[in-house]
Every structure is written in C-alpha cells, then in structure tokens.
Amino acid sequence: METKVNGLKAHAVTGGTTADGAEAPVLVLIHGAGMDGTVWQLQSRYIAHRGVKVLAVDLPGHGHSGGDPLASIADMADWVAAFMDAAGVEIASVAGHSMGALISLDFAARYPEKVRAVGLLGAAAEMPVHPDLIKAAEDGGMLAPELITDWGFGTIAHTGGHLLPGLWAMGAAERLLADARPGALAVDLKACDAYKDALVEAAKIDAPVVLISGDEDKMTPLKNAKPLAEALADVTLSVLPKTGHMMMIERPREVAKLLLGLSR
C-alpha cells in the first residue's frame, strides 16, 4: 500500500490482502533500526488473512518510503500519526520491534485517541548503543550488520533449524540491514541511544500493552524490560524461550499469534 505523508511516498506491507469492512481492526507494525516493513513478513500475512487490516510501515528513508531517515523517536512517532491520517485509519493497535517499540511507546503516550492496544517487542527502559557500533554504521560496509546479527539472534538461530525450509534466519537479517539506504542505520541507532523518555511516557499509557521479550535477548535483556513493564498500567509480559532479540524471525508463529490476539 502506498500513500503520501508530508508530500513524500509512504509505503506499507499489507500481508497480501485487505480485510473487508470499515469495522475491521487495524494493526500498524513498526520495524527496528536499519530495517523495513518486510521484517514482519512472517506475521503480516498470517494476521491479514484472519480479518485484521495489517500495515507494516516503511519509515521515511527505509524500504520503499521516500524522504530521509528521521533523527528522533518522537519525530518517527509523529510520522506514524501522520501516516495513519493519510491512510484513513482513526484507531489501531500499534506494535513495534526494538527501535519500533520505542516509537510505538512514544506514539501511544502522545496519541492515546489513536491507540487500541500496544505491542512492544524487544523493548527496554533504555536502549544505549555502543559508540563503536554507531561508528561502524556510519562507515558503511558489513561490520555493523554482522555485529547486530550475531548479537541479535539466540542460540538456535546460530545453529540452524528454522521451521521454514530454506530460510537462513541470520543471513536474511544481515542482508536486510546491509541493503538499507546509506546512513539510515546510523541515524536509527543514534535515535535509540538518545531516547531517554521511555519510563515517563510509559506511565501515560492506559491502553493494554503486550510486552514480548526473548530469554536470550542480549540487546534488550529481560532485566532491562522489567522496569518498563512496572511503569505500564495494563501490561502482559510474554517471555519467549530460547529466543534472542530478533523474535519475529526466530519465533514467527508465537509472535504472529500474540500480535493477532493484540489486534482483535
């Protein structure tokens, strides 16, 4: 699906179908740093074929959306609000992964009238990024994608055995990061590193929240997600076993079912 936001092309993956009827629930999915809406491909189709309108967005400067990457989490949250307006969506469930989780959190706090429920995947109260990783992203090349992929996946993904035949989970994620537009990954990582408002904004959210963590997540470990859970008024914490940070790829079925439940 394509529309215009601030005069620029805004693209979203729909899962191959659109739910019938104006009353169909809507789920907006927001990708993480350096990625795009295709990272949700193992969830978007499943959910879209079960009566939910799915919009897995490409943020500005990512995937097929125009413009430059936005420099702050708040700016990205404002863009999501503008995207929903352009797409004619008044209210939706909103879920994001990693950087997308911070965007979803900030969006839900500042646009409560647009939010039915919130999904936070791979989230933490803060997401500091090591300066060496930011430097590697700024320099380009494969080092940053390789570091993120190696650190981001749990044990099983490192050894193979994905339930989808022929899918090399780590290779797919590495390629997605490597194919990002020049500079986009670095801008995203800096935005994550700079965002310090998660606990303050979480306290403002009244909508139900599902917080999904992996027990092998090294990037946003469970111990760093728990303060966020404690700040939320209505939260369900789901911990996926033997799962790292890239949970939508590592545990596609479990994540799809959790997001479907969130959407209805």
Find out whether 56 and 37 touch, Cβ atoms under 8 Å: yes
Per residue in 153-165, pLDDT tens? 999 888 887 777 6
Question: How far apart (Å, rounded) are the C-alpha atoms in residues 73 and 55?
Answer: 19
**Residue 22: how many other CB atoms lie within 10 Å:** 6
Question: What is the rounded (10 degree) CA torsion for 79, 85, 87, 89?
Answer: 120
Q: What are phi and psi of 243, to 5 degrees?
A: -135, 135
Question: How far apart (Å, rounded) are the C-alpha atoms in residues 221 and 214?
Answer: 8
Position 166 scores a pLDDT of 64
pLDDT in tens, the chain (264 residues): 999 999 999 999 999 887 666 689 999 999 999 999 999 999 999 999 999 999 999 999 999 999 999 999 999 999 999 999 999 999 999 999 999 999 999 999 999 999 999 999 999 999 999 999 999 999 999 999 999 999 999 998 888 877 776 678 899 899 999 999 999 999 999 999 999 999 999 999 999 999 999 999 999 999 999 999 999 999 999 999 999 999 999 999 999 999 999 998
Amino acid at 62: H
Find out whether 219 and 98 touch, Cβ atoms under 8 Å: yes
Per residue in 73-94, pLDDT tens? 999 999 999 999 999 999 999 9
Find out whether 150 and 251 touch, Cβ atoms under 8 Å: no
Query: What domains are defined for the chain?
Result: 2-263 (3.40.50.1820)
> Is residue 192 within a helix (H) or strand (E), and if so which, with residue range?
helix 184-194
Find out whether 3 and 35 touch, Cβ atoms under 8 Å: no
Q: Using DSSP, state whether 263 is helix, strand or coil.
A: helix
